Chains A and B, each alone.
Chain A
Amino acid sequence: MCGQYRRNLTAPLPLAGEGEQSRRGRQRYSFLRALTFAALMWLVSTSPSLASGPRIVSMNVCSDQLVLSLADPYQILGLSRFARDAWQSWAADAARHYPVLSGGAEDVLVLKPDVVVVSRFDKRETRDLLQANGLHLVEFTVPRTLDEVKAQIRQMGDVVQHPDRANAEIARLDAAIVRARATVTAHHYRVLPLERRGWVPGEDSLVSSLLTEVGLTNAADELGFRAGGFASLEAIVKLRPDFILVSEAGDRAEDEGRAFLLHPALEHFYPPDKRIVLPERLTVCGGVMLADALDRLTAELKRVTR
């Protein structure tokens, strides 16, 4: 733990240039560096609240992304198993620099983090076990609206003790919302968000609030899916929404769940220029990536209504 901390502190300090610089200069520089380092170490050891935020373990792919976007690198002790999955996680690349946990309680107990960030909806037994062993757990729920997302960003900012960064991210999200609203057209297109096997996220989903922000209507309501549900091909074809929203373009079906979205009956009415494509990694979690999701959604809307 300490080793990681030291690496992170020293890495940003520039090394003295090679060759041209005089030996004396270099020596003086390394002396200064050592002095700075010693001073910092002293600060760290005497007043932890000043230089070090809490060390964090995240056990859910959504909280992973919040932690990655708000915490300092040295604060992150471990991330969930799916943190590096580019399909689900927008921050998959950033996650490569951090250890990935097994998902069980053992390695978390060994790491002894100050805070464990979990989702309220998974791994109840693991959570109970960690709590029983005296770890401080912070639970996050699944946000359904952009306001809830902002609240979560703020909450995570407090957890990692960087509220300023949280505010900056919220401002970025607000700016994206303003941009999206500026593009709202007079015509309120009916869009059916459609996932594998015909799953339709309901009105109370994050995708639905994104659609509303850009002036679109979620057609799921017409199918009677307030809380989401599986739509049959026939029902979709009969409903005839203006567009369908899918998470991926392309013509490859790696399984039958995906083949549903490529069924000839759907392709007949929804060829690629009737499909709004919004990658899953931008919409599955509530977080700072929603600013990108909104921009992407407006761009896609422009493409399909051109």
Chain B
Amino acid sequence: MSVQDFALATEVAARRRLGATVVLAALVVLLVLISLGIGPVRLSPLRVIEALFGGGSEVAQVIVREIRLPRTILAVAIGGMLGLSGAALQGLLRNPLAAPSLFGAPQAAAFGAVLVISLDLADVRSYALPVAAIIAAFGSVFALLAIAGRNAGLLILILSGLAISSFAGAATALVMNLSSNPFVALEIAFWLLGSLEDRSFQHVAIALPFIIAGAFILLSQASSFRALTLGEEAAQSLGVDVGRLRLLVISGVALGVGGAVAVTGSIGFIGLVAPHLMRPVIGHDPARLLVPSALAGSALLLAADIAVRIIPATSDIKVGVLTSIIGVPFFLYLIKRERRALGGGVA
């Protein structure tokens, strides 16, 4: 390949990346509009747009602006955060199977939030919930990386993640028993499944600041992830403080996932699926993968949340259930594909 050919190939790749990002962004916008247009009460697209900008009947305005809009904003923000967290963790660990949900972070965050709900420590629409969730999520990811060590193989990470998420699940069940609220078991069972239903701007207000802070931290580390693909020592020689990077990524993931889980319960597997969907298009550069993964995450969660509203069911389907039903087979497929690497980890 001549120098010209190489330059051309690079340019084509860059154009493809840009094209893919633009298409994804357009898809997210389209899904946002559909999400605003769909609900138990049928409103024509024209009336939805009218109501969104403060026109039309009072009822339509309240439905679009107070009920559908916060739900849509949360889907975009949380889906994006999960996709971004997945891409960042995969970049940090140089491992395509890394994702917050496999490491027990959402489960641990859920435990933190459930503790607050069960013991009736604060209003569910107060900052106490995300703060407790973030602390628990931070603890779990920190524990995982401490246990599994720096260059842990796939198997060790996944096994430790499984143990941590089982532990968080058991602790959650235990805390539920201590509650004086007679409805708490049902409430939490529902909540753990993950749902965006009937969320309001109060929920947006408690989740969004943490999600934005987390996303900012993760995006700011893009160049470090790229350096890390060369190996930890090479990255260090390029001036990357790997210890600090780890701490920053853990904090970013904990902030984002904790904030998200506090208002929606745990929604799994988006962080795993989104970066994988993007890799064939974007390539394997973890720095370039961050933004497209976030967009893909938003699109996935929006689509899932639209689907739960369309699928006919006697009672509402939880969006977390849907993402897991799609995500788990995908994860199994990935394991099958990575079998050789996994086998290598054991040996």
Contact = CB atoms under 8 A, between A and B. Distances in A.
Contacts, number: 79
A237 B63 contact: yes
A255 B315 contact: no
B62 to A, nearest CB: 5
A265 B62 contact: yes
Given A87-B182, A237-B63, A265-B63, A253 B39 contact: no
B282 to A, nearest CB: 37
Contact of B123 (A82, A235, A253): A253
A254 interface: yes
Contacts of A235: 40-41
B182 A85 contact: yes
A268 interface: yes
B62 A269 contact: yes
Contacts of B5: none
Residue from A88, A258, A265 having most chain B Cβ neighbours under 10 A: A265
Contacts of B346: none
Contacts of A240: 59
Contacts of A225: none
B183 A232 contact: no
Contact of B198 (A233, A254, A269): A233
B202 interface: yes
A234 interface: yes
A98 interface: no
A50 B124 CA distance: 57
B181 interface: yes
B315 A263 contact: no
Contact of A265 (B40, B117, B200, B316): B200
Interface in B187-206: 187-188, 190-191, 198, 200-202
Contacts of B186: 257
B227 to A, nearest CB: 43
Contacts of B182: 82, 85, 87-88
B66 interface: yes
A263 B200 contact: yes
A197 B41 CA distance: 18
Contacts of B181: 254-255
Nearest to A268: B62
B59 A230 contact: no
Interface in B44-62: 59, 62
Given A198-B198, A256-B187, 19 more contacts: A196-B183, A232-B40, A233-B67, A234-B40, A235-B41, A237-B41, A238-B63, A253-B123, A255-B183, A255-B188, A256-B124, A257-B187, A258-B124, A259-B125, A259-B198, A264-B200, A264-B201, A265-B200, A269-B62
17 contacts: A88-B182, A232-B41, A233-B67, A233-B198, A234-B67, A254-B123, A254-B124, A255-B117, A255-B181, A255-B187, A256-B124, A256-B190, A257-B183, A259-B124, A259-B125, A264-B66, A265-B63
